[in-house]
Amino acid sequence: MVPEYEILTPDTVPAYIEKTPRLDGIVDTSTLEVSEVGDGNLNLVFVCKDGNGDGICLKQSLPYVRLVGEGWPLTPERVIAEARGLAAAVDHVPDLVPAYYALDEDNYVLAMENLIGWDMWRIQLNEGNSHPGVGAKLGRYVANLAFYTSLFAVDQQEIKQRLAQAVNPELCKITEDLVFTEPYIDVPNNSYVDELIPEVEGMRADARLRAEVGMLKYKFMTAGEALIHGDLHTGSVMVRHGEGGGECKVIDPEFCYYGPVGFDLGALFGNYMAARARAAVLDRPVDYQQWLADLGPETWDAFEAEMRRLWPDRLDKTWTDSFLDAWLAHVSQDTIGFGGCKANRRIIGLAKVTDIQELPHDDHVKAATTVLRTASTWIRDRADLKTVAEANKVFDEVSAEVMG
C-alpha cells in the first residue's frame, strides 16, 4: 500500500517545517537535527532540535499499523483524532500535555512541543525511579477531560454533535480486539510462556470472568460519557523531575473517542499493577514499592477531588451532590474492571509491556501470574471492591501467595 500523501523522512522534515506557516519561527531549520523515534506501534515520530536548543515534534500517521506492517491497514485519520484529544486537554490542563502547534490534515502530520528532557514513565518505572505526584496529576488530567468534554459542561444539543464527530471506529476496534477479545480466546496474536498456560486456560474456562469481560467490552462500545484518551498507559506519559516533585505530560491520545471515563483510569491502574508486580519480584526497596502501591489511590483521590472542585460549575444542577457520589462509585467500578482488562492483555495478547516481559524467566512467571490472578479478580468481583484501596488489597494477597 503506497500512501497518497508525502511521507516525511528525517531529511525532508526541515523543508516541511519551512513551508508550513504555523510552524514558522519555532525552530531554526538551518541547524535542525531530526531523528525518527516512533516506538514502533503505529506512527512516524520525528523529534527535532535546533542549535539553540529549541525543538518541535512531528507525528505522522501511516495508512497501516507499523508494528505489523502493511498487512494491517489503518486509517491515517487517527492523527486527526489525536489532535482532537490534544486540543481538548490543551484547553483545560495545558500543563499536563505538550503545546499544540498545528495539524496538517492533508499529510496527516501533527506538530507539537518536543519534550526534550522528558522520559517515558514506563521506562522510569522499570528502572525503579519514582516521580512523586505524577499519579495525582494524571487524576487531575482525567477529571478535567471527564468534566469539560461531557454533559457536565457541554450543552446537550452540542455534545451529541461532538460525539458524532469524534467516532473513531478503527482505533476503537484495536482496543476491542486486543483488550477485550483476544486474550480470552486462542488466536495467533497471543503468546505466553508455558508456565502460564494453566492460568490462561483457567481464565478462558471461567464463564463468569468471560461474561464480565464481555460486559466491559459492551460498555466500552456503548457508553459515550466523555472524550477519553483511550490509551492512557504508562507509555503514554512522559515524566521529569521538577522543582515541586514529579512532572508529567500525557501524549498519544489518538485512540480518543466518547467512551467511559473509567477506561482511562483503568488503563493507569492496569499498568500500575504491572509496575508493582515487577518491583515485587525484583525486590525493590520497600519505600519504592509503597510509592507504587499508593499510585492507584493517589490517582483516584486526585480525580475525585478535582471532580468535586469542578462540580459546582456543572450545567445541570438537578444532578445533585448525591448524584456525584453515585457517579463516582460507578466510575470506580468501571476503573477496577477496565484496569483488570488492561492488565491481562499486556500479559497474554499482542503489545506486551516491558515491565513484565523483560524480566528474567522465573521472575517473569511470578509477576505475570500475579497480574493475571489479580486482574481477573478485579474484573470478576469489581462490584464488591468498593474502593481502590480494596482493589490494592487483592494485589497484596495474590502476590503474597505467588511470590511467597
Residue whose CB is less far from a second copy, 323 or 396: 323
Considering the complex, state which of residue 237 and residue 385 has its C-beta at the smaller distance from a second copy: 385
Distance in Å, CB of 342 to a second copy, minimum: 17
Residue where the block lists cell 486462542 = 186
Q: Which amino acid is at 270?
A: G
Query: Is 218 a residue that touches a second copy (CB under 8 A)?
Result: yes
- Subset of 322-361 contacting a second copy (CB under 8 A): 322-323, 325-327, 330
Residue closest to 369 by CA, chosen among 393, 338, 404, 334: 404
The DSSP H or E segment spanning 240 is: strand 237-242
Q: How far is the CB of 167 from a second copy (least distance, A)?
A: 4
Report the nearest approach of a second copy to the CB of residue 214 (Å): 4
Q: Can residue 170 be called a binding residue for a second copy (CB under 8 A)?
A: yes
Stretch of 27-35, 178-186, 189-197, 247-255 contacting a second copy, by CB under 8 A: 178-186
Q: How far is the CB of 85 from a second copy (least distance, A)?
A: 17
Alpha helix stretches (DSSP H) within 349-360? 354-357
Rounded to whole angstroms, the Cα distance separating 308 from 312 reads 8
Specify the 3-state DSSP secondary structure of 70: strand
Q: Which is nearer to a second copy, 115 or 385 (CB)?
A: 385
Other Cβ atoms within 10 Å of 94 Cβ, number: 11
Smallest distance, Å, CB 200 to a second copy?
Answer: 15
Q: Identify the residue among 96, 154, 172, 372 touching a second copy (CB under 8 A).
A: 172
Cα separation, 152 vs 145, whole angstroms: 11
How far from 270 is each of 103, 200, 230, CA to CA, in Å? 31, 17, 13
x/- mask, a second copy, residues 143-162, rule CB under 8 A, reads --------x----xx--xx-
Q: Does 77 bind a second copy (CB under 8 A)?
A: no
C-alpha grid cell for residue 236?
503514554
- If one asks whether residue 225 binds a second copy (CB under 8 A), the answer comes out as yes
Nearer to a second copy, 127 or 186 (CB): 186
- If you search the block for the grid coordinates 481477573, which residue do you land on? 376
Closest CB 324 distance from a second copy, rounded Å:
8
Total binding residues for a second copy by CB under 8 A? 41
Strand-pairing partners, residue 262, are none
- What's the closest the beta carbon of residue 328 comes to a second copy, in angstroms? 11
Tell me how far, at minimum, the Cβ of 403 lies from a second copy, in Å: 32
Site string for a second copy, 298-327 (x = CB under 8 A): ------------------x-xxx-xx-xxx
d(CA 362, CA 306): 41
76 Cβ contact list (under 8 Å, min separation 6): 3, 5, 61, 62, 63, 108
Asked if 261 contacts 331 with a C-beta cutoff of 8 angstroms, the reply is yes
Q: Is 189 exposed, middle or buried (0-12, 13-18, 19+ CB in 10 A)?
A: middle
Give the nearest distance from C-beta 222 to a second copy in angstroms. 5
The answer to whether residue 87 forms part of the interface with a second copy (CB under 8 A) is no
User: Judged by CB, which is closer to a second copy: 240, or 314?
Assistant: 314
- 225 and 159 Cβ atoms separated by less than 8 Å: no
Task: Kindly list the distances between the CA atom of residue 55 and the CA atoms of 14, 23, 116, 121, 137, in Å, as whole numbers in the listed order.
Answer: 12, 11, 7, 20, 24
Regarding 163 and contact with a second copy (CB under 8 A), the answer is: yes
What one-character DSSP code corresponds to residue 93? -
DSSP state, 236? G
Q: Which of 19, 52, 71, 222 binds a second copy (CB under 8 A)?
A: 222
Position 85 contacts a second copy (CB under 8 A): no
For a second copy, which stretch binds (CB under 8 A), given 7-15, 179-187, 302-310, 351-359? 179-187
Element (H, E) at 366: helix 361-380
Residues near a second copy (CB under 8 A): 151, 156-157, 160-161, 163-165, 167, 169-170, 172-173, 176, 181, 184-185, 207-208, 210-212, 214-215, 217-218, 221-225, 316, 318-320, 322-323, 325-327, 330
